[in-house]
């Protein structure tokens, strides 16, 4: 039982002050509250001790103890409020949403690289005055081959290359039938592109049975060969975002005459790496087939080839997407595992 005198009151006060200085949370504060103001707390003991004092000291000591109790209660309250305020502040800081933080990355809803490529090239071509035309994927031999000057004995018609349906229709092997459909529908002059899926009986590391092309057709009067070359280089420069070297190589397509293939300098090594995995050391990449439209094809489109001429081209969209976005294996484009595109897909690598 503590004695109640100045010193003892003083000791309780000092103990309380020291305990309060060390307190760091509300639980500890509660412990202090019990220790000093509880039923068995130091203050209660002091009060009880009052009765044992000589009567002449009792009054003064009682006042002292009451004063101390008021002080202690007041300080407990103030400290409690401080702790609560600072805990609230911490909570606010922790839970604060920083609207200036950059996004963590897109996890859903992005366009497939081939679709992005298709949109990019379509935008460029629309800027050059071309409109988007469409045609069916399940096509007739007539549009896919006949009208395109591909005679029935041509090897392209072979079952080896083409998926035929029992009724004699087929899955289009290229987007070129849309040339005919568009000429028949719109007449001349004409500027169209047609992006879409095409199908061939091919399946290995560099060929897929379904792939994407973009057809282009321009029909007008006195169209010079140079416009075709200019259009193609314009499109490719805009697509790759820089001036590339081109090579126009003589080639053969039944529906164009003369026909050419357009090679661009290797976007990976620019011809400086003989072991380049993209161009295999040739320094060139074949990206577009094209040519001046064969008069028989213009005729099949019910346009007079004596008055009109033009050019057509077919772009391999999958190839273009791979080159632009640094995708090394064609099969990844058709794989269901999206994680590759989330992590390894480096848009705009140059």
Query: Where along the sequence are the contacts to ligand PHE (CB under 6 A)?
Result: 174, 176, 253, 256, 289-291, 312-314
What is the number of other CB atoms lying within 10 angstroms of the CB of residue 50? 15
Structure tokens that stand for 136 in this block: 């069916």
CB 94, min distance to ligand PHE, A = 60
Give the nearest distance from C-beta 342 to ligand PHE in angstroms.
Answer: 32
Q: Which is nearer to ligand PHE, 283 or 314 (CB)?
A: 314
Q: Which phi and psi angles does 302 have, rounded to 5°? A: 60, 40
| Residue number with CB closer to ligand PHE (46 or 148) | 148
CB of 337 to ligand PHE, least distance (A): 29
Q: Give 23 or 219: the residue with its C-beta nearer to ligand PHE.
A: 219
To ligand PHE, the closest distance from the beta carbon of 140 in angstroms equals 16
Nearest-approach distance from CB 147 to ligand PHE, in angstroms: 13
Residue nearest to ligand PHE (CB): 314
Alpha-carbon distance 150 to 75, whole Å? 99
Closer CB to ligand PHE, residue 36 or residue 311? 311
Supply the minimum distance, in Å, between the C-beta of residue 314 and ligand PHE: 3
Nearer to ligand PHE, 35 or 197 (CB): 197
The residue among 79 and 179 lying less far from ligand PHE, judged by its C-beta, is: 179
Closer Cβ to ligand PHE, 130 or 313, answer by number: 313
Residue nearer to ligand PHE on the CB measure, 18 or 250: 250
CB of 256 to ligand PHE, least distance (A): 5
User: Minimum Å distance from CB 174 to ligand PHE?
Assistant: 3
């Amino acid at each position: 039982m503590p004695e109640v005198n100045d010193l003892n009151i003083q000791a309780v006060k000092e103990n309380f002050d020291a305990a309060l200085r060390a307190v760091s949370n509300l639980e500890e504060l509660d412990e202090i509250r019990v220790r000093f103001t509880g039923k068995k707390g130091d203050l209660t003991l002091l009060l009880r001790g009052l009765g044992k004092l000589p009567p002449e000291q009792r009054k003064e000591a009682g006042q002292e103890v009451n004063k101390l109790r008021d002080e202690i209660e007041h300080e407990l309250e103030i400290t409690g409020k401080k702790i609560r305020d600072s805990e609230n502040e911490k909570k606010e800081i922790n839970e604060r949403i920083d609207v200036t933080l950059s996004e963590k990355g897109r996890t859903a809803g992005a366009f497939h690289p081939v679709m992005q490529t298709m949109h990019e090239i379509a935008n460029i071509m629309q800027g050059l005055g071309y409109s988007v035309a469409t045609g069916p994927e399940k096509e007739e031999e007539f549009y896919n081959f006949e009208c395109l000057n591909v005679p029935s004995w041509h090897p392209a018609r072979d079952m080896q290359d083409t998926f035929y349906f029992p009724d004699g229709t087929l899955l289009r092997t290229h987007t070129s039938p849309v040339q005919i459909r568009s000429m028949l529908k719109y007449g001349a002059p004409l500027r169209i592109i047609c992006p879409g899926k095409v199908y061939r009986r091919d399946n290995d590391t560099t060929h897929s049975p379904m792939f994407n092309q973009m057809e282009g057709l321009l029909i007008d009067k006195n169209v010079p060969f140079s416009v075709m070359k200019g259009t193609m280089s314009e499109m490719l420069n805009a697509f790759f975002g820089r001036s590339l070297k081109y090579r126009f190589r003589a080639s053969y397509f039944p529906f164009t005459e003369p026909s050419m293939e357009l090679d661009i300098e290797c976007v990976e090594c620019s011809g400086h790496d003989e072991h380049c995995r993209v161009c295999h050391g040739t320094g060139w990449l074949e990206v577009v087939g094209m040519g001046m439209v064969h008069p028989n094809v213009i005729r099949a489109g019910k346009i007079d080839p004596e008055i009109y001429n033009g050019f057509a081209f077919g772009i391999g969209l999958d190839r273009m997407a791979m080159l632009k976005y640094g995708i090394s294996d064609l099969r990844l484009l058709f794989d269901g595992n999206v994680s590759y595109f989330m992590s390894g897909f480096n848009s705009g690598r140059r």
